[in-house]
Amino acid sequence: MKLNELLTYLHEPLLKIEEDIEITSIEMDSRAVKEGSLFVCIDGYTVDGHDYADQAVEKGAVVILAEKPLQVNVPVIIVNDTKRAMARLADAFYRQPTQELHLIGVTGTNGKTTTTHIIEKIMAEAHKKTGLIGTMYIKIGDEQEAVQNTTPESLTLQKTFRKMRDKGVTNAMIEVSSHALDLGRVHGCDFDVAVFTNLTQDHLDYHHTMEAYKQAKGLLFAQLGNNFNVNKPKFAVLNRDETVCDEYIKMTAAKVLTYGIDHKADVMANNITMTSNGTTFDLIAFGEKRTVSVNMAGKFSIYNILAAACASLASNIDLDTIVRAIEKLEGVRGRFELVDGGQDFTVIVDYAHTPDSLENVLLTIKQFAKGDIFCVVGCGGDRDKTKRPLMAQIAAEHSNEPIFTSDNPRSEDPGMILKDMEAGVLNKHYHSILSREEAISFAIKNAKKNDVVLIAGKGHETYQQIGKEVFDFDDREVALKAISELNK
Ligand SMILES: CC(=O)N[C@H]1[C@@H](OP(=O)(O)OP(=O)(O)OC[C@H]2O[C@@H](n3ccc(=O)[nH]c3=O)[C@H](O)[C@@H]2O)O[C@H](CO)[C@@H](O)[C@@H]1O[C@H](C)C(=O)N[C@@H](C)C(=O)N[C@H](CCC(=O)O)C(=O)O
Ligand SMILES: Nc1ncnc2c1ncn2[C@@H]1O[C@H](COP(=O)(O)OP(=O)(O)OP(=O)(O)O)[C@@H](O)[C@H]1O
Ligand SMILES: N[C@H](CCC[C@H](N)C(=O)O)C(=O)O
Ligand SMILES: [Mg+2]
C-alpha cells in the first residue's frame, strides 16, 4: 500500500510526505522489520521503541512513525500517540477487516473467555463460520494459534481479522481486556456488539484505582459506533445486576440490551435449580420463555450464558437456536473442569484468579459438597498485590483446608507472595506449601470420600513461570498423577 494513502486514515491535518513510498508491512518490533516496512516506535513499559529506530532503518524500514523527532535518514512522521495511530494504520493496511465481520467484543473482570466460547457455540449452531480471539488462543474454525496476551496488540489483531475473512469467517468474538482498551489495542475495531460481564477487583497494579479500571472498561461502550461503518446497528449488552450498569448506559450512544437475574432485564433467568449434572432455569428473553438445562454449575455460569444469549439475540440469532446451543455446552477447558482419575472424591481445576471468582466458585462448591472442601490456591507475581490477602481470606472462609501455594511467581520471590497471602488470614487454619506440585499432592492425599478438592488459578495453563523460566505444568496432569499414586 502507498504511504500517502495509508496516512489519510490518520486524519492528521497538514500531514504530508513528498515522496510516495510503497509500504510492505507495518512493524512495532525492530527485529521483525523487513525491506519496505513502516516502523512504529512505542514507548513501552520495559524499553522505548524510539531507541530502536536506527536498527529498524538498518533492517530496511522506509518510514518511521514516532512521538518525537529522530535523527534517521528516512522520513519520520510524528503523532501524539503512536499506539493509537498504529491501530488506525493497521486497520487500513489490512483493508478494514472488521467492517466485513460481525464483531462481538466482551469485557469484564471475569467470564470473558467463557462468554466468548458460549457465543462461539451459538454462532456455530446457527451455521456461522466463527473466529475467536482471547486468553486461550486465536481460533479460526478448528485451527488454533498461541497468543501472549488476552487481547493482542493492534497489528496482530487486524492481521488476524483479515486472515479470518480470507478463510470465510463471518462472525468473530474477542475478549477485550481493560489493558487493551487503555492502551488502544482495539482502537480501529468496528464492534457490532459490546458485552459487559462484571466489574470486581483485579489489575490494580496497572490501573491503580477501581475508578480508573471502571473507566477503562467503559471505553468499549463509549467508543461503540464511533468508528467507520455507521450503517451497521450497534448494541451494548450490559449486566443489569452490576451497579456500574447505569453508568455504562450513559456512556454509550448504542442501543442497550440488558440481562440479569436479580433485577428486571431484557433477558433473564428465573427458577434456577441446581441438578446433579448441572442447572435448570427459565430463560426469558423479551417476554418469551424457554426452560433450559445446562451442563454448567453456579450462578456465575448463568450470567455468562445470559450474556452470550443476549449478545446472540442482538446479532439476529433466533431464540430456539440459542437454546439448542446452550443445552449442548460442555464447559470451557480449565473452567470448573472435573478431573476424574477414578477417585472417590471430586477434583475441580478452575481459572479463578481474582477474589470474586474464587468466592463464586467456592460458594458454588459449597452448594453440593457432601464432605470437606480443600482449596489449593496461589497468586501470580508481577500482578495486583492487593488481591493476595483477599483471595487467601476467601479460601480460608469458604474451605475447610485452604492450601496456599505458588501460581506463576514470575519475577517475584514466591515466598514473599505467600507471606502477602498469609497476611489475610491471621488466626485461621491454613497450610502453606511453596511447591504447587506438592500442594496439589497434599490435598489429594488427604482428601477423603465425598470431599472436594478445588485447584484454583491456572485453569487451562500448561506452564508455570518462575523467574524468567517457563516450566511445563498442568494442574490437571499433576492432579491425575497424584490420584494414580494414591493406591500405590
Ligand atoms: C503492560 C503491557 O501490557 N505490556 C505489553 C507491552 O509490553 P512492553 O510495554 O513491556 O513492551 P516493551 O518490551 O517495553 O517494548 C516497547 C516497544 O519496543 C519494541 N522493541 C523492543 C525490543 C527491540 O529489540 N526492538 C523493539 O522494537 C517492542 O516491540 C515494543 O513495540 O507490549 C507487549 C507487546 O504487545 C505485550 O505483550 C505486553 O504485555 C505483557 C506481556 C503483559 O503481561 N501484559 C498484561 C499486563 C496484559 O496486557 N494483560 C491483559 C489482560 C489479561 C486479562 O485479564 O485477561 C491482556 O490483554 O493480556
Ligand atoms: N460471570 C462470572 N462472574 C464471576 N466469576 C466468574 C464468571 N465467569 C467465570 N468466573 C470465574 O472466573 C474464572 C475465569 O473465567 P474466564 O476465564 O471466563 O474469565 P476471563 O474474564 O476470561 O479471565 P481473564 O481476565 O483471565 O481473561 C473462572 O474459572 C471462574 O472461576
Ligand atoms: N489474565 C490474567 C491471568 C492470571 C492467571 C494467573 N494464573 C496468573 O498468572 O496470575 C493476568 O494476566 O493477570
Ligand atoms: Mg480470558
Assess if residue 476 is contained within a domain.
Answer: yes
139-169 per-position pLDDT tens digit: 998 899 999 999 999 999 999 999 999 999 9
The pLDDT score that the predictor gives to residue 426 is: 84
Assess if residue 332 is contained within a domain.
Answer: no
Question: Is residue 60 over pLDDT 90?
Answer: yes
Quick one: pLDDT band at residue 232, thresholds 50, 70, 90? confident
Same domain, 442 and 424: yes
Same domain, 120 and 33: no
* Parent domain of 305: 97-327
Same domain, 160 and 63: no
Assess if residue 314 is contained within a domain.
Answer: yes
343-363 per-position pLDDT tens digit: 999 999 999 999 999 999 999
104-139 per-position pLDDT tens digit: 999 999 999 999 999 999 999 999 999 999 999 999
| Cβ of 459 below 6 Å from ligand 3 | no
Assess if residue 347 is contained within a domain.
Answer: yes
Same domain, 221 and 141: yes
Question: Is residue 228 over pLDDT 60?
Answer: no
Query: For residues 230 and 218, what is the distance between their CA atoms, to the nearest angstrom?
Result: 20
3-state secondary structure of 292: strand
Q: Which triple of cell numbers denotes residue 199?
A: 466489574
The pLDDT score that the predictor gives to residue 111 is: 97
Ligand 4 centre to CA of 231 (Å) is 30
Same domain, 121 and 186: yes
The pLDDT score that the predictor gives to residue 230 is: 62
- Asked which of 46, 62, 93 is the last residue of a domain, the reply is 93
Ligand 4 centre to CA of 119 (Å) is 14
Same domain, 164 and 273: yes
Same domain, 256 and 162: yes
CA distances from 374 to 308, 359, 419, 428 (A): 31, 14, 20, 15
Same domain, 225 and 298: yes
CATH number for 272: 3.40.1190.10
List of residues 6+ apart from 51 with CB closer than 8 A: none
Section 250-256 average pLDDT:
93
Which parts of 402-450 fold into alpha helices (H)? 414-422, 436-446
Ligand 4 centre to CA of 137 (Å) is 10
Question: Is residue 428 over pLDDT 90?
Answer: no
CB 107 within 8 A of CB 194: yes
Assess if residue 353 is contained within a domain.
Answer: yes
Query: For residues 124 and 118, what is the distance between their CA atoms, to the nearest angstrom?
Result: 10
Same domain, 416 and 478: yes
| Cβ of 356 below 6 Å from ligand 2 | yes
161-208 per-position pLDDT tens digit: 999 999 999 999 999 999 999 999 999 999 999 999 999 888 888 889
- Asked which of 303, 327, 351 is the last residue of a domain, the reply is 327
Q: Which atom of ligand 1 is nearest to the CA of 49?
A: 18
- Asked which of 276, 296, 327 is the last residue of a domain, the reply is 327
Is 335 labelled a binding residue? no
Query: For residues 42 and 50, what is the distance between their CA atoms, to the nearest angstrom?
Result: 7
CATH number for 70: 3.40.1390.10
Assess if residue 168 is contained within a domain.
Answer: yes
What number of other Cβ atoms are within 10 A of residue 214's Cβ? 16
Is 408 labelled a binding residue? yes
CATH number for 450: 3.90.190.20
| Cβ of 258 below 6 Å from ligand 2 | no
275-313 per-position pLDDT tens digit: 767 899 999 999 999 999 999 988 999 999 999 999 999
Highest mean pLDDT among 14-18, 252-256, 433-437: 433-437
Query: For residues 488 and 476, what is the distance between their CA atoms, to the nearest angstrom?
Result: 20
Assess if residue 291 is contained within a domain.
Answer: yes
Which residues lie at CB < 5 A from ion ligand 4? 112-113, 135, 175
Assess if residue 47 is contained within a domain.
Answer: yes
Ligand 3 centre to CA of 459 (Å) is 10
Same domain, 475 and 396: yes
Query: For residues 477 and 465, what is the distance between their CA atoms, to the nearest angstrom?
Result: 17
Pocket-forming residues, ligand 1, beta carbon under 6 Å: 28-31, 42, 44-47, 49, 52, 135, 148-151, 153, 177, 179-180
Section 14-41 average pLDDT:
92
The pLDDT score that the predictor gives to residue 222 is: 86
| Cβ of 111 below 6 Å from ligand 2 | yes
The pLDDT score that the predictor gives to residue 227 is: 62
Query: For residues 280 and 327, what is the distance between their CA atoms, to the nearest angstrom?
Result: 10
Same domain, 108 and 230: yes
Domain count, the chain: 3
CB 461 within 8 A of CB 451: no
Q: Average per-residue pLDDT in the chain?
A: 95
Same domain, 463 and 400: yes
